[in-house]
Structure 1
């Protein structure tokens, strides 16, 4: 039998009648890691960094090959909200991005002076605070990779949680997780920082998928929202109604592709449907740094017949969400009645197997690649739009190991924990106060479309797109990132947080995930040090550490 050096020393100490304080109980000899972080998102990275900075042993287990989630996956036009409430490690990330663009050679495809300084609600480059809010995907990934390496964080890439039997629980605590690759990680505290909430769900924590009825949390903007048109992503923006049938006016001819024949449901009722996903594509109009939009192997132009009818109706907003990031590139997002959002094709995703998720992601990729190829090449596209679009292509120097296509689909919403406290629109709209803030959000309450259907007048319509302004930044409750104590006592969930569908529509922004990742790791470490369930941690104690570490918890300590 193999005996560790530690045990040999303890046996020797016993033999001579002296037991050193270093001869701890077996629990100290189990090779457990202090904090195990599962996820590859921006929130996962900041959680690992914070735990490491607090002196703990940390392992970051990423199911993704690339770190950073959407922040490094194409979403460079940051959903900033109010930058005054972005502090701590999140702000340091944007400072590190700023530093990257000060380096020689960073502005390869354009002069910085030609870029301008437009950001989303804030200047792209804030010289006074040395922060940069708009950036290229590879720059963000470099920052995350270098940060993790700088701190010596143990990192495992492409390791997927065994969701069937890979979570060991004893006395209400997770003691180990195992991956499909056969690796086991014993730990004292665990953080699920995935978009999908896979570890949370596998551990038996309560969660919700879809929209709650308005009656559940006494909300106005949750549930089915037929007849509500807040943005320009619906058919009311057109001068005429669009017929949904293959042969216009003939229901017997069947519906055009990607239109549901199901009843959308009753306004205010809940359902199991989620807002649409897409890829945030990075395009370039520099002749030396673009590649033509690829034609998918299964390309089918009939999938885009609805877009032809929209073009024929006079819609000319194809380029309205080509948001410019440095070096003549874009963060291109969904815009209009028919665009990159693949409405209604992701309902299974949150709880689906890995294999089924891959199929869903591939379908989204084929749809969106086909859409770009269609607009660039199909003769039915308006000539003016097509000629201008031919100046664009995928950025040649982005996502180079994935055919210049983003490696992360935009999981706008999946599982959401039902934890110690549920954030709702009532907290965001200041109808009631939020207890025990661990960070702030400030982005508009926002949901993308969820259904495309035939309305009562026989026309095609989208449903679910919501945009509700806020009276100002809002606080996010400590209880929304921790499970109920009776379920698990050593888990923190800073991404698939405890929030209603409509509240999550604002909380789900990448800077907020970084903020909550840091706060969640702080809580985990402090509870570990005290040997208590994370739910029993004194908020006043936690608050003091968060403020010391630069987090913004209320408007009283906003960054000016």
Structure 2
């Protein structure tokens, strides 16, 4: 009896399933790809390693970030999603500011309406290929999936990497692609704070000595990650912010030193000098890393190993980021070095009781701003997003600022440091080339990569928004459906019919005469 049951379970686990298209990553990019392909009649399976779809749109980033881009470039599926949010909130048009729980409900409704099959809680383990073609993938539960076309929509490019497609991690040098903003970038203004402990060891949160790094050189790490907590100021809407599982006061020694210095100089300090709080709907505030702060939610240096880490290693890095985040909030509320008014401000906040209710009211996903980036048929560079902005194989447009958060802190001496890695440049409308979504044909012929797409680090800073990723996802879904229908490789999908279909579905593929091409963000910080 037990042997029969074991065999039955084994058969179930190793079952081989087939679909026309398999999409990896239930983030907005993958949702758009899945729905677009399913609407074309394809049988689609969407795999999401967590238990929730929506990526960061349902894990605390409650904006389309349209405040830093030209709204006319947001079309197709992305516009449809924001219009459904508008219908929910009865705003009479697209709504670019929302709640995570509402976004998740709308995504699930759209997936159900399109007939997309969802698989939760499994990750890609192995990829089998014949020549340059993926034949099947094996998931971490042992199940196997075959498809004619695969789409890697995830933040990390895990399916792409396991398929043997070349990729980059970190930042290119200035010379590799001739990019003025590339490579190591030191902030201009030193910050005063003790950088070493009593025996001269760099304090936590400081990665290196500046003398060991050189402006413009390549660097192995992407920009920092953080959690986007949803908090409330109204006590009626709050649940307590939990203490971290592992608290180490020494992690915040740099911040403690700065607080003491401010106190000695009698300079007033507020919580908003450390953490950004964005007002959202229904008493919710979105908590974010503050770029100008001496210390904030961004875990500088904690992200270095994430892109190529195993799933087990990522679980440890994830927990380290959570401990860092909750530890910082605990430090701000309780440590003697923190001014009393900042402590009281911190204590007045709580997690919002209506969000992430099955996860202790904490976001489901870490904000992985950047991880792997494919080296595909075409590599989009800084020149493509600022100057050479027209492409014959356009499948959509972006216009977001080149926005890179800091990567690390580096010590200038024992009492000064600078942050490193920040880029903030005006956005320009530019056409996203289809070639940036396709691997080189010699590497893989039935894979599309709209998430970890073929961009340099600098250019990727204009792609890494959920609103833009829905645009590349939409295009990939249609391209995959065309490849299935015509039994062709993704590289040989006919461009004109693809573009015509996207235009018919209100994707913005072309420049529109008379509309602005520069994103003038007059209220933001200066470019640097």
Fold-level similarity (TM above 0.5): yes
**Are the structure 2 counterparts of residues 245 and 484 from structure 1 closer, same or farther at C-alpha, using a change threshold of 3 Å?**
same
Deviation at 1:527, TM superposition (A): 2.0
Mapped partners of 1:432, 1:52: distance in 2: 31
Indicate if the aligned counterparts of 2:46 and 2:116 stay in contact, CA closer than 8 A.
yes
**Which of 123, 127, 139 is 2:102 aligned to?**
139
Mark the runs of 5 or more structure 1 residues left unpaired by the alignment: 1-29, 103-124, 230-234
Aligned to 2:146: 186
Q: Does 1:490 align with 2:434?
A: no
Aligned to 2:281: 326
**Which of 349, 363, 378 is 2:306 aligned to?**
349
Mapped partners of 2:237, 2:140: distance in 1: 38
- Tell me the alpha carbon deviations over residues 101-127 of structure 1, each in whole angstroms, 9 at most, x when there is no partner: 24xxxxxxxxxxxxxxxxxxxxxx5x3
Deviation at 1:431, TM superposition (A): 4.3
Aligned to 1:271: 219
- Tell me the alpha carbon deviations over residues 322-358 of structure 1, each in whole angstroms, 9 at most, x when there is no partner: 0111011111110112100000111111111100000
Aligned to 2:252: 304
Aligned to 2:71: 83
Q: Does 1:97 align with 2:89?
A: no
Aligned to 2:195: 244
Deviation at 1:422, TM superposition (A): 0.6
**Which of 173, 196, 201 is 2:156 aligned to?**
196
Q: Does 1:517 align with 2:464?
A: no
Indicate if the aligned counterparts of 1:85 and 1:558 stay in contact, CA closer than 8 A.
no
- Tell me the alpha carbon deviations over residues 171-197 of structure 1, each in whole angstroms, 9 at most, x when there is no partner: 321121110111111100110011000
Indicate if the aligned counterparts of 2:270 and 2:342 stay in contact, CA closer than 8 A.
no
Indicate if the aligned counterparts of 1:222 and 1:268 stay in contact, CA closer than 8 A.
yes
**Which of 136, 159, 162 is 2:122 aligned to?**
159
**Are the structure 2 counterparts of residues 382 and 457 from structure 1 closer, same or farther at C-alpha, using a change threshold of 3 Å?**
closer
Aligned to 2:48: 62
Indicate if the aligned counterparts of 1:448 and 1:465 stay in contact, CA closer than 8 A.
yes
Q: Secondary structure at the match of 2:356?
A: coil
Mapped partners of 2:353, 2:297: distance in 1: 20
Deviation at 1:451, TM superposition (A): 1.6
**Are the structure 2 counterparts of residues 439 and 58 from structure 1 closer, same or farther at C-alpha, using a change threshold of 3 Å?**
same
Mapped partners of 2:456, 2:414: distance in 1: 32
**Are the structure 2 counterparts of residues 295 and 244 from structure 1 closer, same or farther at C-alpha, using a change threshold of 3 Å?**
same
- Tell me the alpha carbon deviations over residues 252-274 of structure 1, each in whole angstroms, 9 at most, x when there is no partner: 34332221244551111102111
Compare 292-301 and 496-505 and name the one that shifted more.
292-301
Aligned to 1:541: 497
Q: Secondary structure at the match of 2:432?
A: strand
Across the two proteins, how many residue pairs are aligned to each other?
489
Mark the runs of 5 or more structure 2 residues left unpaired by the alignment: 1-15, 517-528
**Which of 495, 506, 511 is 1:550 aligned to?**
506
Indicate if the aligned counterparts of 1:435 and 1:478 stay in contact, CA closer than 8 A.
no
CA RMSD of aligned residues (A): 1.9
Bigger CA radius of gyration? 1
Mapped partners of 2:268, 2:461: distance in 1: 27
Aligned to 2:230: 282
Q: Secondary structure at the match of 2:194?
A: coil
Q: Does 1:216 align with 2:176?
A: yes
Indicate if the aligned counterparts of 2:172 and 2:218 stay in contact, CA closer than 8 A.
yes
Alignment of 1:320-469 (within 5 A): 321-335=276-290, 336-431=293-388, 433-455=390-412, 458-469=415-426
